[in-house]
Every structure is written in structure tokens, then in C-alpha cells.
């Protein structure tokens, strides 16, 4: 999988389940940064969520495939599924750089996820490996006007007022990007499923059908 596009976006997530907010973010960032492809990278064993037991990896992968079907921009990426142990983004970026030596990498993160970046494994390496695109998250009062680089990488970055973002010495940017997107979270989808409320408008019909067929998140089969 993962052939060689020149400008490669990476949207990582637990995707428990994938929803239309994820897809809207991927598409908006791709349009704004002229990306050839966006990998939907399943974080199979997220180290930051020991308190939450997600749906089985195989089912989250199947839902991602359903969500990405028919959209040439989006590609499901299973690198972290095939790797043993916790899913560290820095390892995945290194692997992607090996697989796609000619590609420029753009890691796409919602501001909520980026707020935790200093707790990730080896945060100093991240802006060396890729551009960091931090999106607003519809419904959240998060400011993406001047996104700072990871603390550990501050010695290697400088703010460039002419472009309005931080530049890493590698040439990569750390930049905030406001999106229109969709106000939805996976927790809200799970909550609605458990209450028997409709979710098609938040997940699309194929993922909603899958959730009910497999009785995920407390769903009863239709």
C-alpha cells in the first residue's frame, strides 16, 4: 500500500469510529496544502489512551476502508497495525520517509491532539521529519493562529512573521490551519449509538451500517 505521492498528508487517529469530521479535515487540508494523498493512519495501540478500550483493530480498519472507499485522495494505512507494541508517531514517520523517500510529509492534527504533543515519544524529532499542520476543531475554542512548535524542538525553530508560522531548520513548518469541518467526535458517535440515536449524518451510511451490523458501542442490530 502507500505508493509514492509527492505531497503526502497523514491523519492519524484511533478512529473509534472514523467519522465525517475526520474526512472533512483531511479534504480541507489537502485542498489548502495541495496534497496528493492523505493517509488515514490507524493508531492501533495508542499509548495515550490506556483508560479507553477501543473496538477491535480489524473492525476499525474495516470502517476506515468503508469511509475512504471511492475517494482517490484518501488511503487507509496499516503501518501501525502491522508493527508490534505501542503506536509511536515518530517511528511511523521514519518508516514513511523510508517508504516514500521523495515525498514531503504533512502530519495533520486537530488542536486537541496537538495540545498533547510534548507528551509524545521523541517530540523533538517530529518537525525534523514532517510539516505539522494543526487544524481547528469545530466546536472547540482552540486558537490555531500562532501554533508553537513542540517545546523540545524550540531551539531548532524560529517564528517567521512573513509567513506567520514557525519554521524548523529542516525547512518544515509548524502551522495552524482553521477549517470549517464538522462538529463531531468519535465519543459523541459512540454515545449516540449507545442511546439508539441516529449517526448516519455523522459517520456516513456505510460506517453506520457496519456499526449496527457488528453491534459495536452497544448498538442493537437493525
What residues line the site for ligand ATP (CB under 6 A)? Answer: 13-16, 21-22, 25, 109-110, 112-113, 135, 137-138, 181-182, 184-187
**What does the alpha-carbon distance between residue 115 and residue 207 come to, in Å, rounded to a whole number?**
28
Beta carbon of residue 112, minimum distance to ligand ATP (angstroms, whole number): 5
Which residue has its beta carbon closest to ligand ATP? 110
Beta carbon of residue 23, minimum distance to ligand ATP (angstroms, whole number): 9
Beta carbon of residue 1, minimum distance to ligand ATP (angstroms, whole number): 19
**What does the alpha-carbon distance between residue 43 and residue 64 come to, in Å, rounded to a whole number?**
12
Q: Is the dihedral of CA 63, 52, 111, 81 positive or negative?
A: negative
* DSSP category for residue 199: -
Helix axes 205-213, 57-68, angle to 10 degrees: 150
Residue 55 or 173 having the CB closest to ligand ATP: 55
Query: Do the beta carbons of residue 107 and residue 35 sit within 8 Å?
Result: no
Beta carbon of residue 58, minimum distance to ligand ATP (angstroms, whole number): 17
Residue 27 or 158 having the CB closest to ligand ATP: 27
Beta carbon of residue 101, minimum distance to ligand ATP (angstroms, whole number): 26
Query: What is the total residue count of the chain?
Result: 222
Residue 6 or 135 having the CB closest to ligand ATP: 135
Q: Does residue 50 sit in helix, strand or coil?
A: coil
Residue 66 or 184 having the CB closest to ligand ATP: 184
**What does the alpha-carbon distance between residue 105 and residue 8 come to, in Å, rounded to a whole number?**
5
Residue 53 or 84 having the CB closest to ligand ATP: 53
**What does the alpha-carbon distance between residue 155 and residue 142 come to, in Å, rounded to a whole number?**
25
Amino acid at each position: 500500500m502507500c505508493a509514492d505521492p509527492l505531497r503526502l498528508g497523514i491523519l492519524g487517529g484511533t478512529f473509534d469510529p472514523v467519522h465525517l469530521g475526520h474526512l472533512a479535515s483531511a479534504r480541507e487540508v489537502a485542498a489548502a496544502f495541495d496534497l496528493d494523498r492523505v493517509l488515514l493512519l490507524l493508531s492501533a495501540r495508542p499509548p495515550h489512551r490506556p483508560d479507553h478500550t477501543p473496538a477491535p483493530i480489524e473492525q476499525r480498519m474495516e470502517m476506515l476502508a468503508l469511509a475512504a472507499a471511492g475517494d482517490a485522495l484518501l488511503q487507509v494505512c496499516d503501518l501501525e497495525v502491522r508493527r508490534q507494541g505501542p503506536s509511536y508517531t515518530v517511528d511511523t514517520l521514519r518508516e514513511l520517509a523510508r517508504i516514500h523517500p521523495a515525498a514531503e510529509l504533512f502530519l495533520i492534527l486537530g488542536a486537541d491532539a496537538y495540545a498533547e504533543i510534548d507528551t509524545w515519544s521523541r517530540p523533538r524529532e517530529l518537525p525534523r521529519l514532517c510539516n505539522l499542520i494543526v487544524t481547528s476543531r469545530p466546536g472547540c475554542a482552540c486558537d490555531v493562529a500562532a501554533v508553537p512548535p513542540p517545546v523540545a524542538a524550540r531551539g531548532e525553530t524560529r517564528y517567521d512573521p512573513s509567513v506567520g508560522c514557525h519554521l524548523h531548520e529542516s525547512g518544515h513548518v509548524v502551522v495552524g490551519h482553521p477549517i470549517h469541518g464538522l462538529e463531531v467526535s468519535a465519543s459523541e458517535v459512540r454515545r449516540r449509538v449507545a442511546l439508539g440515536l441516529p449517526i448516519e449524518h455523522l459517520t456516513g451510511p456505510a460506517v453506520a451500517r457496519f456499526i449496527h451490523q457488528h453491534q459495536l458501542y452497544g448498538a442493537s442490530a437493525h
